Amino acid sequence: MWTLYGLKTCDTTRAARKWLDARAIAYVFHDVREDGLTKALVETWVKRLGWEKVLNKASTTWRELPDTEKSGVDSKKAITLLLAHPTLVKRPLLDHDGDFTLGFRDSVYEELFG
Query: Active-site residue numbers?
Result: 10
Q: At what angle do helices 106-113 and 11-22 cross, to 10 degrees?
A: 40
Q: How far apart are CA 91 and CA 10, in angstroms?
A: 8
CB 63 within 8 A of CB 85: no
Q: Is 59 left (phi over 0), alpha (psi -120 to 50) or beta?
A: beta
Q: How far apart are CA 100 and CA 52, in angstroms?
A: 15
